[in-house]
Amino acid sequence: MYRKEEQPLPPPEKFELPFEGKLSPNNRWVIMAELIPWDDFEEEYAKLFSAEKGAPAKLFRMALGTLIIKEKLGTSDRETIEQIRENPYLQYFIGLNCYQQEPPLESSMLLHFRKRIDGELINKINKKIVKREIDKSDKEVKKKDCLQEKGEKIKNKGKLILDATCAPADIKYPTDLGILNQARIETERIIDNLYKPLRVKLRKKPRTSRKIARKE
């Protein structure tokens, strides 16, 4: 039996914690929870269950969220449940209203989740996420175009911080003998190319001593 949760989930800052703290909206699990269209696929997931018979099933958000946590962390079924029990962000991600010390489900449930949420459903969810982000991006572009047509200036937002230390440095030092050797190789290549059309007139190619230079 499947029963939909009627009460909407609170925003992350209203998630009840035992130590009177608040969830950060910048946490990766909170951000990911906002990206996934949970409600759009709950009806399709509910069709897999009887409307009247059987024990109440776990909600779609809890089922999919638990599988995502397992794959994201690379943990076993038991360790996944233990991570959820210890982490309030993970409990919020799977749809709980407040933190609870007891695990919200048993590890054996993941086997049933994997059977019900197949690759086809995952692909639908991914396409839905991509489409929603594209539509969101298109709206922002249209808004900017509209402002430009009205002659309004678009204000820059945020700060761009550039740090050269995080980029790979492939620049050689002036004292690197490799630079001298590379210059020698390029010079020999130029001499070879210039000598080709002059073979008839010049019997011997200008001496470069490349074998000796290569050894030294």
- Domain coordinates of the chain in residue numbers? 12-117, 177-215
Do 95 and 9 form a contact (C-beta atoms < 8 A)? yes
Confidence (pTM): 0.59
Q: How far apart are CA 32 and CA 181, in angstroms?
A: 52
pLDDT at 149 over 90: no
Mean of per-residue pLDDT scores for the chain: 82
- What is the CB neighbour count within 10 angstroms for residue 110? 19
Q: Which two tokens stand for residue 80?
A: 């996944």
- Which residue type occupies 186? E
List pLDDT tens digits, range 84-135. 999 999 999 999 989 999 999 999 999 999 999 998 999 999 999 999 889 8
Q: How confident is the model at residue 187 (pLDDT cuts 50, 70, 90)?
A: confident
Q: What is the mean pLDDT of residues 147-152?
A: 67
Residue pair 91/84 in contact (Cβ under 8 Å)? The answer is yes
Residue-level pLDDT at 52? 76
Neighbours of 71 (CB within 10 A): 10
